[in-house]
Amino acid sequence: MKHSKTKTSFYRRLYVAHLISVGVNTVPQITQLTGMPRRTAQDTIAALDELAIRCEFIGAKKDGGYTINDWGAINPLWIKGQISHICEVLEYPAPD
């Protein structure tokens, strides 16, 4: 099934926010798990703010990582419950 760019962009942001919240919180970790290009991962993290998801980088560049400070209007429990569907739409592996 073909999904719209709007839906896949939204789901990609939710998926990346979820990954960050479960400890897959660096660009290299995200690209390794998903196979998405580095620039896509960076742009997706930067775009979380458009969904009112407050994401912050903590630590030094070499050993730091991102953290979600505020989910805004997004319910992270909904994402957790829908993660298989989200991954299916994006054709990404579900996180462990």
Residues β-bridged to residue 65: 58
Rounded Cα–Cα distance for residues 84 and 70 (Å):
23
What architecture (CATH level 2) is domain 5-90?
Answer: Orthogonal Bundle (1.10)
pLDDT of residue 80: 94
pLDDT at position 26 = 96
Tokens of 15: 């998926």
Q: What are phi and psi of 56, to 5 degrees?
A: -135, 145
* pLDDT higher than threshold 90 for residue 93: no
Structural domain boundaries in the chain: 5-90
